[in-house]
Chains A and B, each alone.
Chain A
Amino acid sequence: MAVIEAWNLTKIYGRQVACREICLSVEEGQIFGLLGPNGAGKSTLVKMLVGLVYPTAGEAKVAGYAPQDIRGRRQVGFLPENFRLHGWMKGEELLTFHARLAGLDNRAASRRAHEVLELVGLAGEGRKLVANYSKGMQQRLGLAAALVGDPRVVFLDEPTSALDPLGRRQVREILLALKEAGKTVFLNSHLLSEVEQVCDRVAIINRGTVVAAGRLDELQAGPATVAIRLAGLTGELVAELRRRYPELQLEGDRLTLALGGREEIADLVARLVAGGCRIYEVRPGHSSLEDVFVHLVREGEQVCG
């Protein structure tokens, strides 16, 4: 069942299009990653989904309700990018207040505040003023605030941007634990490795438009590389191949090509054999998320530029 849905979500600021006709669907219990270069419209999209920003056109539903609907908000947690927490409060007090706003009574709110402090590794720090927390601690506290209402859907906008490698790993573990508990996580990040490690599905957004979406293996199955060790390659055949595969590289007996898809490998090998080549090894390359991302973003820039 889709717990986050967007239909043609568009946001235009004056003459600048931040998001254009974005359609998304995130199934319950998934970790969904939203990727994109800086200024691609990721944060605007997240803000529209949590009801902070009104779309110019289109519609969205989160947990079955419009983003501004209070019934839906009871089921949503949000860690914004570039946020600040109220420095005059103590960590524990801040979380208790957020839990109260999320609908918990005083005692349950206090208990929940302790639980999430422990979850994000801030147990024992709850009595300090938020103003005295380090940046990393504030990031963890922000994550705790997002989780304090025990939400069904969690939106995290760059949750690890201020964290050290240890903190990042801890956040990844929290995300996986949330998934185990059946929660849905919408992760907005530009850290590809992070997304690659935890996300079930990914959408790549560039210049306000979704340029690719799907399971990680689907996306990575797109453009592929192949390295072939061979002998008997003629100059004529190299020229023919270069016309079809402009990124061809030939080093000694090793030929590397960027293909449109893995299904092209068989045809390529058949052509090489027909051209008189002896094939010793065919090694299909694994296209990383970074390759896919860079390829799609560059492609978009060429089209727009």
Chain B
Amino acid sequence: MWLMALFTFREAWRKKVALIAGALTLAFLILYGTGLHFITRDMVNTANPTATAASYYAMMQAVTLFVLGIYLASFLAAGLAVLAAVGSVAGEIENGTLYTLAVRPLSRRDLLLGKFLGLAAMLVTYAALFFLALAGLVYWQTGLVIPGLVPALGLFILEPLVLLAVTMLGTTRLSTLGNGVLAFALYALAVVGGMIEQIGALVESTAAIYTGVVTSLILPADAVYRRLVATVVDRLPAGNGQDIPRFINPQSMLGPFGSQSTPSNWMLVYTLVYIGILLAAAVYIFNRRDV
């Protein structure tokens, strides 16, 4: 399994998947950093956020920009997860590269999990660097150290892994194209469901909130993002007690990009179990299919 994982990681590296994703991400970071610079140029230093109304607003502005950056970065990480894994079984059968591997003294479980681990290693590296680059840019331009940096980083890494597990399951049964369409459709469903849930929380619509919960159960990728936002924003002080009352919730300032309706710890447990079950199902299907 580890040989297969190393092989897959090297494949992603040598096929320049990581390089192309890295170049696009760099372009994104340059654009984001430029925007961040001009938007926050006149902001007051946020080192002491509770001191004045102006600095509190500045802090919220910095957090909002960070959250938006993370929101967009999630798309890129999810896209990379889907594109990297979309043909890892189906594509290799279609182009005939799987035959020589599948007859080696290597169980299909090890072959599949090796591929998952190799791609996961690439995605974890990519997502961690991306997240730290965003947090670094925000710190550089605004002086704000992202609260809950380490748990937020963990959650950011988890998000593409959910998409990776879904795509690995799909590739054991569907064609490359069909699997890609399904994975992106599910991701779109989760994102839209997440938006509906947050708007539902803002307007206090239980039905809308449940809609989001259901889509999160189908694909918990957006739920992980919401939990990430909560991890960061819930560590911020409430209003500064001067011109901003203390009962003002910083989440409400983020609107549909925030986490008014925050996924529970159980949702995180569900996400981890979800990944495990999907991988087990992928192994089950791959074990029984003709190659």
Contact = CB atoms under 8 A, between A and B. Distances in A.
Interface stretch (B94-102, B133-141, B258-266): B94-102
A98 B14 contact: no
Interface string B15-38: 100000000000000000000000
B16 to A, nearest CB: 9
B291 interface: yes
Contacts of B103: 50-52, 73, 76, 78
A189 B210 CA distance: 61
Given A52-B290, A52-B291, A101-B3, A85 B105 contact: no
Contacts of A47: 290-291
Report the contact-size class of chain B (Cβ under 8 Å from the partner). 20 to 34
B7 interface: yes
A116 interface: no
Nearest to B3: A100
Interface in B86-122: 95-97, 99-107
Contacts of A149: 104
A280 interface: no
Interface SS, A side: loop
Given A70-B106, A103-B105, A80 B100 contact: yes
Contacts of B291: 47, 52-53
Contacts of A245: none
A88 interface: yes
B204 interface: no
Contacts of B97: 83-86
B288 interface: yes
Given A52-B102, A142-B100, A86 B11 contact: yes
Contacts of B14: 88-89
Given A53-B290, A53-B291, A88-B11, A82 B96 contact: yes
B52 to A, nearest CB: 57
Contacts of A103: 105
B15 A88 contact: yes
